[in-house]
């Protein structure tokens, strides 16, 4: 679906009311309404209400229709259910359309652009689509959900960010993570995988290393998702426990190179392994994001030491050229792009140096 295409929207006036089908069936049998009422053992008034849609088809009515018209009761029950459901949705859309200002509070354009939701011309149907995304039944319920996120964002309230955009990004992560089957969380097993996880930095193609990364983490109870960020969502990563045995590890799919991707991954892994399960941890792009608590420093140090152990740091400081960087990376079993990223971060070399050693990822 292109961004300019709208989701098919039903013409409510053309939904077939069960009464229309009843009338068509009795006409096919050349029955008058009066005779049909006698055969159904109903009053003429009740038959009139059925045909006009003023009375619903009950199970008893469906069984009578099956006997008189020789059309299965299941057909009539399905027809009634479909019609009433469509009628209820139409009425709900009409009511919700009066609250279309809410659509301005959420990153609607980005949600459509990223194919997280369908696009509707009808404001009421668009609101229903968005409520389904957020997993709530009403706008009022969404505001309660928003307040819950605001409590979680309290530690970051001085930062330049749009809370609803971040809430929406996190929700998309939860949706994708829910589809990932994970074994119960196992800390020892996850630590045992560190060697294999570090080795994945040597694979340049994300189509190759991402499935392996996700499989390893799912085996240990961690659902890894890579999600594009909407506007005003300066996130690099996030960690949240979905249950006591399943953790969500989110990475931003925007502006990632080898150094930033792998550092973000191990940073979030540090939160999962070492910090409170009840907390939400957000890693922002450093220029836009101010929070850097003690726990964030701990996660930074964890990632740094996993990627380049402390015993090699002094040696890294004296690398003089590209060839020495490549040999050093081979020696410690890590991508040379990760080494370059670390050297840039430590201000050992300028950010403009050795960019050709770093792969920049573009995720669809």
Question: What would the DSSP string read from start to end of 305-340?
Answer: HHHS-GGGHHHHTT--SHHHHHHHHHHHTS-HHHHH
Q: Give the predicted TM-score (pTM) of the model.
A: 0.81
Stronger pLDDT, 235 or 242, i.e. the higher one: 242
Q: Show Cβ contacts of residue 46 under 8 Å, excluding neighbours closer than 6 positions.
A: 37, 55
pLDDT at 13: 45
pLDDT at 37: 95
pLDDT over 60 (residue 8): no
pLDDT over 60 (residue 68): yes
pLDDT at 10: 54
Average pLDDT score over the chain:
89
pLDDT at 1: 44
pLDDT at 56: 93
pLDDT tens digits along 254-298: 767 888 899 999 999 999 999 989 888 888 765 445 556 788 889
Packing angle of the helix pair 163-178, 123-134 (nearest 10 deg): 70
Phi, psi of 157 (to 5 degrees): -70, -5
Question: What would the DSSP string read from start to end of 37-89?
Answer: HHHHT--HHHHHHHHHTSS---HHHHHHHHHHH---HHHHHHHHHHHHHHHHH
Question: What would the DSSP string read from start to end of 221-251?
Answer: TEEEEEEPPPTT--EEEEEEEEETTEEEEEE
pLDDT tens digits along 144-174: 988 888 767 766 655 667 889 999 999 999 9
Round to whole Å and give the CA distance between 165 and 175: 15
pLDDT tens digits along 330-347: 999 999 999 999 999 889
Structure tokens at 330: 């081979």
Q: Which domains are assigned to the chain?
A: 12-95 (1.10.260.40), 100-151 (no CATH), 152-361 (no CATH)
Q: For the chain, how big is the Rg over CA atoms in Å?
A: 29
pLDDT tens digits along 170-226: 999 999 999 999 999 999 999 999 999 999 999 999 999 999 999 999 999 999 999
């Amino acid at each position: 679906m292109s961004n300019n295409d709208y989701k098919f929207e039903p013409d409510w006036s053309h939904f077939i009311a069960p009464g229309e089908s009843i009338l068509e069936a009795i006409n096919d049998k050349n029955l008058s309404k009066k005779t049909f009422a006698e055969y159904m053992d109903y009053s003429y008034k009740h038959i009139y209400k059925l045909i006009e849609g003023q009375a619903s088809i009950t199970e008893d009515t469906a069984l009578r229709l099956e006997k008189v018209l020789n059309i299965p009761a299941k057909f009539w029950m399905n027809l009634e259910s479909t019609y009433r459901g469509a009628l209820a949705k139409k009425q709900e859309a009409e009511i919700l359309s009066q609250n279309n200002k809410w659509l301005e509070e959420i990153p609607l354009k980005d949600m459509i652009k990223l194919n997280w939701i369908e696009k509707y011309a009808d404001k009421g149907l668009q609101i229903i689509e968005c409520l389904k995304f957020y997993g709530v039944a009403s706008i009022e319920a969404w505001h309660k959900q928003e307040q819950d996120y605001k409590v979680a964002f309290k530690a970051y309230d001085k930062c330049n960010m749009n809370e609803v955009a971040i809430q929406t990004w996190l929700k998309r992560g939860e949706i994708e993570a829910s589809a990932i089957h994970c074994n119960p969380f196992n800390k020892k097993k996850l630590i045992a995988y560190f060697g294999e996880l570090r080795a994945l930095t040597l694979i340049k193609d994300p189509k190759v290393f991402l499935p392996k990364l996700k499989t390893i983490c799912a085996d240990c109870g961690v659902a890894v998702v890579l999600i594009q960020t909407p506007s005003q969502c300066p996130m690099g990563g996030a960690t949240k426990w979905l249950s006591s045995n399943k953790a969500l590890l989110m990475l931003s799919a925007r502006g990632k190179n080898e150094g930033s991707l792998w550092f973000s991954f191990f940073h979030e892994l540090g939160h999962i392994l070492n910090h409170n399960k009840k907390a939400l941890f957000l890693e922002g792009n450093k220029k836009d994001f101010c929070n850097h608590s003690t726990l964030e420093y701990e996660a930074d140090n964890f990632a740094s030491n996993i990627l380049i152990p402390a015993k090699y740091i002094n040696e890294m400081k004296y690398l003089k050229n590209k060839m020495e960087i490549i040999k050093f990376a081979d020696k410690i079993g890590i991508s040379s792009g990760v080494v370059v990223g670390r050297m840039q971060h430590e201000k050992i070399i300028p950010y403009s140096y050795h960019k050709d050693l770093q792969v920049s990822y573009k995720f669809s």
